[in-house]
Structure 1
Amino acid sequence: MTDEARSGDGARPDGAAGGVKGPDELRQQIERTRSQLGDTVEELAGKMDVKGRAQARAADLRDKAGAMAVQLRSTVAQAGHAVQGRAAQTGHAVQDKAAQTGHAVQDKAARAEGAGLRHPGSVLFAGAAAGAVGGVVALEVLRRRYTGRR
């Protein structure tokens, strides 16, 4: 051993007692060193295996993406059910309002019918005017269809 390896009392810096070691103790030390060296080499090899690390990372990301997709599908399904429920409620409300409006229109039509019976000339004139407007619109539609103008 060198002078640097020994302290002033003859002890070694690694804590082992100075002096000659027995063959069993040397074998155990060699085995420990081999084991540590093997662990170190294995760790370095793992760090150098870029392809393997990339594949492991890709697998992790695929798993995370799959989990996110499942969660997203669940969220979308819940939102779809909520929207469907609101649409059904709105549809029922619109139906009710349409029925009320229809009844109101029927009432007004019945009152207008009564007025029309009292003034048949006005009803005939309004019907003739509506027929004329409808005829002009129909002629314009046909003219555009056959001349190709839009």
Structure 2
Amino acid sequence: MGLSILLQWHRVRGRGKSTVTVNLALALSAQGYRVGVLDADIYGPSQAQMLGVKEGTRPQAASNDRFLPLQAHGIQAMSMAFMVNTREPMVWRGPMVVGAFQQMLTQTQWDNLDFLLIDMPPGTGDIQLTLAQKVPVAGAVIVTTPRTLRC
């Protein structure tokens, strides 16, 4: 089976996007699939905490300027939380954010994945546009909350 890339997003923080991503990854892994999770929320990465990765854990370097994803609960993971101190504010503009995302996407040495789940940041900003332009996506899960339309 070829690699399927699934992504999800919603416009607002705190709606369950990361929880859905990690639980979907765990369910796919439990069915025998090789699963990776890319935490694309540069400003607010949460997959490290969701997967129980100890704070300060860093990925190992592989050959040719590539990183090995961290392993947690049978899932391969890459996140900005593995690269920076998440307790310090990140003051990055669009090009730096996109560069960090592209580096994690292209320089992570994933090991024979069946699925790569991308946990997107809220909104429709630079990361979403970059992903849409550069990565063929096989499917999407959109996390929403119920709303009443008022006319």
TM-score under structure 2 length normalisation: 0.14
Q: Normalising by the residue count of structure 1, what TM-score does the alignment of the two structures yield?
A: 0.14
Larger Rg: 1
Structure with more of its chain in strand, by fraction: 2
